[in-house]
Structure formats: structure tokens, C-alpha cells
Amino acid sequence: MPTDEPSDETVVQTAADAAEGVIFSQYKQSAVRDYDVTVVFEDGVLEVDVYLNAPEDDEADPDPEQVADDAALAARHAVDELFEA
């Protein structure tokens, strides 16, 4: 049975990169007032929390809460893929 599972650090970095990728695919970096991606991976349990303070000045701007939710989901999905590889 292979023990080539990714390190905790790799899991956390993969999740954070995926979440940031979603945020900055929806907003220009200069438009994001503040954001925080918190990823904890302990004992095989992944926790992802995304905070996003971005403009919603007009209807063309995406909903920051939805983008934050999508970013957290993308982080979880990226980690799932990491373990499937």
C-alpha cells in the first residue's frame, strides 16, 4: 500500500492557491480591499475559511459572498484531486 500521500504543507498550499485563484479570476487584484484564506489540515480533516472584502458597486460585480463560497469549494476540490493523484 503506497504511503505517497501529500504532506500537510502541500495540502494547505494547494487549497490556498486554489481559493486565491478563484478570487482573482473574479476580481482584479487592485479591486480586492482585503481577503483572507485560512486553511487547516489536521488528522486528515480539511478546514477552509475564506473572507473577502471586495466591491459590489454595481450589478456587473460578482457577489463577494458567492465568490468566497466558490473559493472555499475550489480549495476542497483541489485537495480531493491531490489525494486522487
Phi and psi at residue 3, to the nearest 5°: -115, 30
Residue 74's pLDDT band (boundaries 50, 70, 90)?
Answer: very high
User: What structural domains does the chain harbor?
Assistant: 8-84 (3.30.300.100)
pTM of structure: 0.90
pLDDT tens digits along 2-59: 568 899 999 999 999 999 999 999 999 998 999 999 999 999 999 999 999 998 776 7
What angle do the packed helices 8-26 and 64-84 form, to 10 degrees?
Answer: 140
